[in-house]
Amino acid sequence: MTAIRQRWHRSAAVVATGVAAFVGAGIFAAGPAQAHKPGWEVDCYSVSVNLTNYNPGVENTIKIEAGGKELLKQEKFASEFNKKLDLPKHSEPLEVHLVVKAGDGDQHSRDERKMSPVCEETPSPEPTPSPSESTSEAPAPSEEPSSAPKPEGGGDDLAETGASSATPMIAGAAGVVLVAGAGLVMVSRKRRSAQN
């Protein structure tokens, strides 16, 4: 091969490496994908619905029934829906039916049922004793104030798991540095070849 061809091959290799690094950094900087997250819980008193990461550009709807009766009429929402609804009093388990229609496809829609248990009744409070029945002695105060034991250890810091919101930024910066380095190598080789 001639010297000119070798230079072009080297230059093309450097450019290809830089482009690959730039594209790779773009993939890392894109961040995690978001998925539809339907979450709902039922207890004996209420139903809590927490829907997140839905497509705001389409029409999403939700409807909730309890015991065959409409608890929440069909309601439209954008990307999120958060609501806590009280259930009617019931003496036997109550079926709660959630229907979520995602506007961007049935794969993200939900049609689920859960059972609400019967709430345990709290016993009626016992009558308080009349003042004539109470004793006149009061407990003696202690001379030393009591203090709750303090937990030992770290604090509020969580363990470093390697996942960070700065990871895409670092990957992007590394890609920029790699492309800049490839450009500097290419410029220095051109200068050397021009001097020879």
> Which pLDDT belongs to residue 15?
72
The Cα 15–Cα 9 span in angstroms is 10
CATH of domain 37-119: 2.60.40
Tens of pLDDT, residue by residue over 99-132, are: 999 988 888 888 999 999 998 875 555 656 555 5
Instruction: Mention every residue, 6+ apart, whose C-beta is less than 8 A from residue 70.
Output: 63, 64
> Which pLDDT belongs to residue 21?
67
Q: In whole angstroms, how far apart are CA 155 and each of 147, 151, 159, 161?
A: 20, 9, 11, 17
Which value, in Å, is the radius of gyration of the alpha carbons in the chain?
33
Number of other residues whose CB lies within 10 A of the CB of residue 183: 13
Tens of pLDDT, residue by residue over 147-185, are: 555 555 444 455 555 555 666 777 888 888 889 999 888
Domain map (residue ranges) of the chain: 3-32+169-195, 37-119
The mean pLDDT value of the chain amounts to 76
Token couple for 175 = 């890609």
Task: Look at the pTM and tell me if it is higher than 0.75.
Answer: no
